[in-house]
Structure 1
C-alpha cells in the first residue's frame, strides 16, 4: 500500500492527460500539446503510483519560468520569488488516501531549498471547502482572489511561507551540496550555472 512519487516518463503522458481531463470541474481540461509543453518545460512534473498503478500527478514551476498561466502571472505580480503548483490531480479512487499529502510533502521538499514561498490556487465556483480545508491544514493561507480571464472562474490565491528557505540560502547560497536527494526533478533548469547541484 506504499505511495511512490517519481518523475513522469514520456510514454505516460496520454494516461496522465486522460486522468486530468476526467478530474471534474475543479481541474481545467487540457489538450495533448499543453501536456507536452509541461513535460518539456515544467520544473517539477511527477506522478504518484500506489500498488503499481497511476494515482495522480503534480506539475509545478519556479517563479522565473516561461509559463503562460494567468494565475502564475498573478503570483508574479504579488510575490517576489515562489514555487507555483499549477495543478495536482488525484485519481478518484485514491482521494482521501494520503496521495495529496505525499505530493505536497515532496513538492515542498523541492521548493523549500530554492524558494521562500509555495503558491497555488483553489477554484471557488464549485464545492471548494474540502480543497480549501486541505490547503489550510497544510499551512496555506489566502493572499487574494483572481478571476481567470480565459474562463471567468474565480480562484482563491494561496501561499505558504517556507521557513527552511532562509537558512538554506544563508548557509549555501545557490550552491547546494551534491547529494542525490537534492537533485532537481527531471527537466528542471537551474536559475544560474551556480544553482545546479554538483553531480546532478
Structure 2
C-alpha cells in the first residue's frame, strides 16, 4: 500500500492524459500536444504510483519559465520569485488515500530549495471546499482571485512561504549539493542527456 513519487516517463503520457481528462471540472482538460509540451518544458513533472499503478501526477514551473497559463501570469505580475503548481490530479479511486499529500510533500521538498514561495490556484465554481481545506492544511493562504481569460473560471490564488529557502540561499547560493534527494530541474537533466557522447 506504499506510494512512490518519481519523474514521469515518456511512455506514460497517454495514461497521464486520460487521468487528467477524467478528473472533472476542477481540472482544465488537456490535449496530447499540450501534455507533450509540459513533458518537454516543465521543471517538475512527477507521478505517484500506488501498488504499482499510476495514481496521480503533478506539474510545476519555476517563475522564470515561459509558461503560457493566465494564472501563472497573474502570479508573475505580483510576485518576483515563486514555484508554480500548474496542476495536480489524483485518480478518483485513490482520492483520500494520501496520494495528493505525497505529491505535495514531494513538490514542496523540491521548491523550498529554489523558491521563496509555492503558488497554485483552486477553481471556485465547482464545490471548492475540499480543495481549499486541503491546501489550507498545507499552509497555503489566498492572496487574491483571478477570472481566467478565455474560460471564465474564477480561481482562488494561493501561496505558501517556503521557510527553508532563505537559509538555503544564504548557505548555498545557486550551487546546491549534488545529493540524490535534492534532484535537478527536469530540463537540465534532459539537456545533459542530449549532450552525452554516444556510447557512454
The TM-score bracket by the shorter chain reads: over 0.9
Gaps of 5+ in 2: 190-200
- In the TM superposition, 1:1-200 aligns within 5 A as 1-188=1-188
Cα deviation for residue 188 of structure 1 reads 4.5
The 2-side partners of 1:119 and 1:177 are apart by 25
Once the two structures are superposed, residues 138-190 of structure 1 have per-residue CA deviations (whole angstroms, 9 ceiling, x without a partner) of 0000000000012000000000000000000001111111112112153357x
Q: 1:13 to 1:158 in 2, by over 3 A?
A: same
The 2-side partners of 1:7 and 1:182 are apart by 13
Cα deviation for residue 89 of structure 1 reads 0.2
> What is the Cα-based RMSD across aligned positions, in Å?
0.9
Q: Match of 1:19, SS?
A: helix
Q: Match of 2:181, SS?
A: helix
Once the two structures are superposed, residues 94-142 of structure 1 have per-residue CA deviations (whole angstroms, 9 ceiling, x without a partner) of 0000011110000000000000000000000010000000000000000
The 1-side partners of 2:125 and 2:188 are apart by 33
Q: Number of residues paired by the alignment? A: 189
Cα deviation for residue 44 of structure 1 reads 0.2
Gaps of 5+ in 1: 190-200
The 1-side partners of 2:185 and 2:76 are apart by 22
